Structure 1
Amino acid sequence: MEKKSSVFECQNCGYTSPKWLGRCPDCGGWNSLVEERRPRGQAPAGGGPAARPARLGDISTEAVPRIDTRNPEFNRTLGGGIVPGSLILLGGEPGVGKSTLLLEIARNLEGEGVRVLYASGEESMQQIRLRADRLGERAEGAPAAGAGEIYLLADSSLEGILAAVEEVRPGALVVDSVQTACSGSLESAPGSVGQVRHVAMTLLNLAKRTGIPVFLIGHVTKDGAIAGPKALEHIVDVVLYFEGEGRRNHRIVRAVKNRFGAANEVGIFEMTSRGLVPAANPSGLFLPDRELSAGSSVICAMEGTRPLLVEIQALVVATQYSTARRVADGVNYNRISVLVAMLEKRLGVQMTGSDIYVNTAGGLEVDEPAADLGLFAAILGSLRNRPLTPGTVLVGELSLSGDVRPVPQAPLRVREAAAMGFSRVLLPAGNLPLVDPVGGIGLVPIGTVAELAELIFP
């Protein structure tokens, strides 16, 4: 009988130990080490013929042609399309639409003449077919589900998936999900650190050897991180997070890692009865359809290389508690505390007896210093109960001294404001020489928070 060795592996970070430990010495997690049994001398995952070295100068530098997904928002997130041989991980909350999005991408690839193998360990083939029929109804003239080159496989076995790849010879592979896929060569349960790493490494080697792009769907933990070892995100080429709440009709795909394009790029989709469709006007999703009231302002935030206009809402009221409350939704809580301290120090406004609530319209997360000017103006406007002049966009970072610092990509932000019909932009004085007025939009330089307060609320 073949002898097997046992190691104890941390389910959070992948640390291994020859004996059980109550606390992982690497990540500090309690009761996270689980026994993994494997045959002695087992070959590493994805073993195959050894690669031959090549001189750097002999490597071709020609651009690798990307595969068009027929989805401009998804193409944008990936950096212009799918790179052949890439391993792409898509994670998100349950029910956010991960499987729906990738099934729709599979249908689009089918239209490009790409044969797709969709392997699911969570749904039967009949369930996937029903969803494909529902998505197919939205596009006139689209081929009926099953009429093209999409092959379905209801199997969570890694060996079964590899055998299907050899049989079908697809041009793209979707695995739903990496946590349910498992290999018979390991005795650990599906979703364990060893299984997830083994599956990911095997599929990575498959992608690099054959040039097939592989999509992995990943579950997330209650903290919002992708379940499994952190090594999973290091193994793959692209990590995408699918964000969105069930109460909102838009979804955001955010690239947090991309070896073939810009990180932090986003694609914005609308959830409709016909499935997920690219947003025709992304900034319009986060702007009000009315005039701004007291405590509201509009900023231009950069999401990757895309400028987005977002409404900031602030509410300042007298506190009913012994300690004033500070509530931030969609913006950094610590940044709100800094801006409130700046109001007290630079403008002499007492805020200790006021509760402050700050929110971004549409639920978009805004986490860049260029939003400071708009946040400051919204809080000040709610405090004084006075609205901003209609058609105004604010862009600028505030220093602790009260100065307005220049921000990157100012010309892009101004062009987006002009395209959305705004009449003036309040921006740092240091950015003014670098920006040309577009479409007659007015540019107003701001040097300090005192200048801002005097200009918008004289």
Structure 2
Amino acid sequence: MAKTKTFYKCTNCENTSPRWIGQCPNCQEWNSFVEKVESNLENNFLHNKTSINTEKLILKKLFDIKTETQDRMLSGYLEWDRVMGGGILPGSFIILTGDPGIGKSTLLLQVANKISSNKKVIYFSSEESLQQVKNRAQRLDIPENSNLLFSDQSNLEAIIQVALIEKPDILILDSIQNCSLSENSSVIPGTVGQLREAGFLLCKLAKENNIAILITGHITKEGHIAGPKVLEHIVDGVFYLQGEDKWQTRILRSVKNRFGTIQETGFFEMGTDGMQEVPDINRLILHEASENPGSALISSIEGSRPLLLELQSLCVTSKFGMPQRIITGIDPKRIILIAAILEKYLHIKFSSQDIFFKVSGGFKIKTTSCDLGIALSLLSSYFQKPLPEKSISIAEISLTGQIKPVNQIELQIGEAEKFGINKIFISKSQKLKSSSNTISFKNIYELIKLFPE
């Protein structure tokens, strides 16, 4: 007989353990380990004399594989189409996720209406009734004679049958967490097992029938897609719609895209009549930027575009034993690190200061090219002196206090100069083709000259 061994596998991230444990150490999910039995395949072959049937297995060279050029389906929204990699590709499987109420359904409904003018689109709403969907469509000024087809069916088995009969170009499912696998299924909607099985079925439907499938999904409080990690692996694209309640700006960001670039961003503004594109987001940001002490402009590459952002800091003498660090929009450790570098080499006691720091507009940044801007913002607030007008910072700071060059500097400088910014702070070692508006620094000691007594 073939030898078997028992082990336990996490249903969320497929992490394995030789014994049952309550919380997965990999994905932190509770009660997700189930017992599995693994057979020794080598013994199966030796004792049962079985072999894989290779009669139907056909091997091909690249030369023999036929390909077809498929035109992407454009929505007419330039921001959406760019993030998608130039439009929606037939046969692709895409998930759009974000916080509740952020505008996922609104954006998908508007996109679906645009594409339905020349493509067949079916919109399945498992969260809202058809009357609620119509009310939303009326608020978005979608005409009643639109070619868009609707259904409030939430049974995935029935949805697949309709898709096989109707053969739409695009199928939209809002949302996957509210779908049941079948009428007789005992699996509760929204559970790990349901999401995994539904994901595999929809992926098979998309690939075998060349139907582009767009689904919406909920996220956890940590900001990840709710459900098993395998759902993120089988889809072709993962797109996040982000924003804050007090800001009307919405950011569509690609996290995974097999048919385009990742970290590409598109900007929309939520209004009473739905989502409106904001193609020139930098003009809007700079219009609201302040010139007070503590304010500094930086540039960050988001996908293929440079984004000009305002950093704001407030440094005050702490009245507590442990100084406060309240930071939003950027990794707090980054601010603490830059403050420590300034204290080490410039002997400014940021360790006795409360530091309040934010990225204006509710944006979030991860790039290290904002280091110089962070340092100048902190120094500006500390000395209570504003930075020079129409200035921007684009450079990284090393642990030794050196100002380091960054990538794609020409693109960022060009975008800044387009808006009349004529003082661009960069690294002295940065290689440039030509620019008369740059001011270079070798190390942080030279930053003090921007704040004369």
If the length of structure 1 is used for normalisation, what is the TM-score?
A: 0.87
Measured after TM superposition, the shift of residue 20 of structure 1 is 7.1
Instruction: Verify: 1:273 aligned to 2:300, yes or no.
Output: no
SS of 2:138's equivalent in the other structure is helix
Q: Is the 8 A contact 2:387 2:450 kept in 1?
A: no
How do 1:336-415 residues align onto structure 2 when only pairs under 5 Å count? 336-415=335-414
Cross-structure match for 1:166? 164
SS of 1:352's equivalent in the other structure is helix
Matched positions, count: 427
Percentage of pairs with the same residue? 38
Give the gaps of 5 or more residues in structure 1.
1-6, 37-49, 138-143
What letter is aligned with 1:120?
A: S
Bigger shift: 22-31 or 172-181? Answer: 22-31
Q: Is the 8 A contact 2:294 2:378 kept in 1?
A: yes
Instruction: Measure, in 1, the Cα distance between the counterparts of 2:330 and 2:16.
Output: 38
Instruction: Verify: 1:56 aligned to 2:37, yes or no.
Output: no
Choose which of 86, 92, 111 in structure 1 pairs with 2:92. 86
SS of 2:177's equivalent in the other structure is coil
Choose which of 122, 127, 133 in structure 1 pairs with 2:127. 122
Measured after TM superposition, the shift of residue 59 of structure 1 is 3.2
Q: Is the 8 A contact 1:175 1:215 kept in 2?
A: yes
Bigger shift: 180-189 or 324-333? Answer: 180-189
Q: Per-residue displacement from partner, 1:118-149 (whole Å, max 9, x unpaired)?
A: 11111111111111121126xxxxxx23x232
Instruction: Verify: 1:30 aligned to 2:25, yes or no.
Output: no
Q: Per-residue displacement from partner, 1:231-263 (whole Å, max 9, x unpaired)?
A: 100010000011111211100111111111111
**How large is the Cα RMSD of the aligned pairs?**
2.4
Instruction: Measure, in 2, the Cα distance between the counterparts of 1:51 and 1:418.
Output: 59
Q: Is the 8 A contact 1:73 1:267 kept in 2?
A: yes
Bigger shift: 361-370 or 279-288? Answer: 279-288
Instruction: Measure, in 1, the Cα distance between the counterparts of 2:254 and 2:311.
Output: 24
Cross-structure match for 1:41? none
Cross-structure match for 2:246? 247
Measured after TM superposition, the shift of residue 30 of structure 1 is 3.2
Instruction: Measure, in 1, the Cα distance between the counterparts of 2:18 and 2:340.
Output: 52
Q: Per-residue displacement from partner, 1:266-323 (whole Å, max 9, x unpaired)?
A: 1111111211111032113433536510111100111111101101001000111001
Q: Per-residue displacement from partner, 1:29-88 (whole Å, max 9, x unpaired)?
A: 33345899xxxxxxxxxxxxx896542123356754211111111111111111111101
What letter is aligned with 2:171?
A: L
Cross-structure match for 1:43? none
Measured after TM superposition, the shift of residue 426 of structure 1 is 0.9
Instruction: Measure, in 1, the Cα distance between the counterparts of 2:33 and 2:219.
Output: 19
What letter is aligned with 1:59?
A: I
Residues 1:61 and 1:454: Cα distance change in structure 2 (over 3 Å): farther
Measured after TM superposition, the shift of residue 27 of structure 1 is 4.3
SS of 2:176's equivalent in the other structure is coil
Residues 1:435 and 1:355: Cα distance change in structure 2 (over 3 Å): farther
Instruction: Measure, in 1, the Cα distance between the counterparts of 2:440 and 2:68.
Output: 45
Instruction: Measure, in 2, the Cα distance between the counterparts of 1:351 and 1:12.
Output: 43
Cross-structure match for 1:454? 449
Choose which of 83, 91, 95 in structure 2 pairs with 1:77. 83
Instruction: Measure, in 1, the Cα distance between the counterparts of 2:437 and 2:19.
Output: 68
SS of 1:246's equivalent in the other structure is coil
Instruction: Measure, in 1, the Cα distance between the counterparts of 2:341 and 2:16.
Output: 49
Q: Per-residue displacement from partner, 1:175-229 (whole Å, max 9, x unpaired)?
A: 1111112212752211122211111111111111121110010011111111000
What letter is aligned with 1:232?
A: L
Instruction: Measure, in 2, the Cα distance between the counterparts of 1:279 and 1:122.
Output: 28
SS of 1:356's equivalent in the other structure is strand
Instruction: Measure, in 1, the Cα distance between the counterparts of 2:317 and 2:24.
Output: 47
Cross-structure match for 1:40? none
Instruction: Measure, in 2, the Cα distance between the counterparts of 1:54 and 1:132.
Output: 49
SS of 1:240's equivalent in the other structure is strand
Instruction: Verify: 1:260 aligned to 2:265, yes or no.
Output: no
What letter is aligned with 2:167?
A: R
SS of 1:287's equivalent in the other structure is helix
What letter is aligned with 1:340?
A: A
Instruction: Verify: 1:109 aligned to 2:107, yes or no.
Output: no
Q: Is the 8 A contact 1:123 1:154 kept in 2?
A: yes
Q: Is the 8 A contact 2:373 2:394 kept in 1?
A: yes
Q: Is the 8 A contact 1:288 1:311 kept in 2?
A: no
Cross-structure match for 1:13? 13
Residues 1:248 and 1:162: Cα distance change in structure 2 (over 3 Å): same
If the length of structure 2 is used for normalisation, what is the TM-score?
A: 0.88
Residues 1:19 and 1:295: Cα distance change in structure 2 (over 3 Å): closer
Instruction: Measure, in 1, the Cα distance between the counterparts of 2:432 and 2:283.
Output: 27
Q: Is the 8 A contact 2:79 2:279 kept in 1?
A: no
Measured after TM superposition, the shift of residue 434 of structure 1 is 2.5
Instruction: Measure, in 1, the Cα distance between the counterparts of 2:8 and 2:138.
Output: 45
Measured after TM superposition, the shift of residue 158 of structure 1 is 0.9
What letter is aligned with 1:246?
A: D
Give the gaps of 5 or more residues in structure 2.
1-6, 37-55
Cross-structure match for 1:67? 73
Instruction: Measure, in 1, the Cα distance between the counterparts of 2:332 and 2:216.
Output: 31
Instruction: Measure, in 1, the Cα distance between the counterparts of 2:308 and 2:133.
Output: 37
What letter is aligned with 2:349?
A: Q
Instruction: Measure, in 2, the Cα distance between the counterparts of 1:209 and 1:256.
Output: 25
How do 1:409-448 residues align onto structure 2 when only pairs under 5 Å count? 409-431=408-430, 433-437=431-435, 442-448=437-443
Q: Is the 8 A contact 1:10 1:193 kept in 2?
A: no
Cross-structure match for 1:289? 288
Measured after TM superposition, the shift of residue 28 of structure 1 is 5.1
Residues 1:196 and 1:349: Cα distance change in structure 2 (over 3 Å): same
Residues 1:182 and 1:33: Cα distance change in structure 2 (over 3 Å): farther
Q: Is the 8 A contact 1:120 1:175 kept in 2?
A: yes
Residues 1:34 and 1:303: Cα distance change in structure 2 (over 3 Å): same
Instruction: Measure, in 2, the Cα distance between the counterparts of 1:272 and 1:8.
Output: 49
Residues 1:321 and 1:51: Cα distance change in structure 2 (over 3 Å): farther
Instruction: Measure, in 1, the Cα distance between the counterparts of 2:35 and 2:191.
Output: 10
